[in-house]
Amino acid sequence: MTTTKSVTQDEVGILLAAAGLAPSMHNTQPWRFEINGPVIDVLLDPDRTLPTTDPANRFIRIGLGAATFNLRVAAAMLGHDTTIAIDPDPATPDVVVRIFLADRKVPVAGLSSLYGELARRYTYRGPMADRPISSRMTKLLTEAARAERADLRWLDDQQRTHLGSIIRAADDRDLHEEDRLHERLRWIGGDRDTEGVPDSVLGPLPTSPAAVRDLSAGRATPHRSQAAFEAKPIIAVLATADDDETAWVRAGLALERVLLTATSYSLAASFLNQAIEYPPLRDEVHTLIGHDSWPQLIIRFGYPTESSGLTPRRPWNETLNYQR
């Protein structure tokens, strides 16, 4: 692949605005970017980590992988093919991914088709329609994950029931672990302009136990609506063969490819990751899906029944360190 000399200022804005639309745990947006000619470094921002909830930075690196995928999609739309290196230089451990841009030609087939979905994708926390997803759709989403060296394990009725008990145990812990609660309150609730999850997108409270995460658990949210959630949620576990820092980034790449593919078919998604934030509970999910792969994310899919707002994002220029 022949690398291009540099990217224009307009391209920088398009690329980094796209990257910033990626999902991240509690919408902390834990990324920064440095640009050197045709090379873009994706860096971990230590001020946006979650040391209590995510001490190994597993979810943080997943978010950085998702941001990397978005950047590649935008680059493809601009006509740049891309290659990446994960943890490219031991001397600069804060550089998690290095992206190399090729000469600009025409939109790159495949990835460029997902560009229109970047701004449409969002995390939906309301009830889903009582409507199945076709086997063709689950196959497409599974193939999207496998394209990034991950897998989607779709849960059957028995597995979903077992997962429900794990989720309830996690929800109970969420209410009683003060350090995690205080950390979460830094990012969740209230009115937020550029980061975190505001009250307006928390979704309704379920009228009965449901496969949904109440991010506001532990704090009062007056005037919040209630709703009945679907009885048989459609749930998949995104898993990787390995469980190391490289695998976590690849899980993020796979996650965003899956989510953008789902969005292109009007599917919504939310997360049930409380069941894998606690190591003993993650071990249970590991057993649930089989010991040949490691659970990295738990995703609930479906067709949304309500409208939902978007979580805020920082201006792209606030995530750029400098241009050398």
Give yes or no for residue 223 having a pLDDT over 90.
Answer: no
Which residue shows structure tokens 């980590």?
A: 49
DSSP string for 149-213: T-EEEE--HHHHHHHHHHHHHHHHHHHH-HHHHHHHHTTBSS--SSSSB-GGGS-PEESS--S--
Which pLDDT belongs to residue 216? 85
Is the per-residue pLDDT at 7 higher than 90? no
Which domains, from first to last, does the chain contain? Answer: 9-121 (3.40.109.10), 135-302 (3.40.109.10)
For residue 120, what pLDDT is reported?
97
> How confident is the model over 14-43, as pLDDT tens digits?
999 999 999 999 999 999 999 999 999 999
Amino acid at 196: G
Q: How do residues 225-267 score in pLDDT, each as one tens digit?
A: 999 999 999 999 999 999 999 999 999 999 999 999 999 999 9
Please state, as a whole number, how many other Cβ atoms lie within 10 Å of the Cβ of residue 131.
11
Per the model's pLDDT, the better-predicted residue between 194 and 323 turns out to be 194
H-state helical runs in 29-95 = 58-78
The answer, yes or no, to whether residue 324 has pLDDT greater than 60, is no
Question: What whole-number percentage of the chain has pLDDT above 70?
Answer: 97
Per-residue pLDDT tens over the stretch 275-293: 999 999 999 999 999 989 9
Task: Say if residue 204's pLDDT is above 50.
Answer: yes
- In tens, the pLDDT along 63-114 reads 999 999 999 999 999 999 999 999 999 999 999 999 999 988 888 889 999 9
Q: With 90 as the cut, is the pLDDT of residue 5 above it?
A: no
Other Cβ atoms less than 10 A from the Cβ of 151: the count is: 19
Say which residues have a Cβ less than 8 Å from residue 69's Cβ, sequence separation at least 6: 22, 148, 252, 253, 256, 257
Contact residues for 279 (Cβ-Cβ < 8 A; gap 6+): none
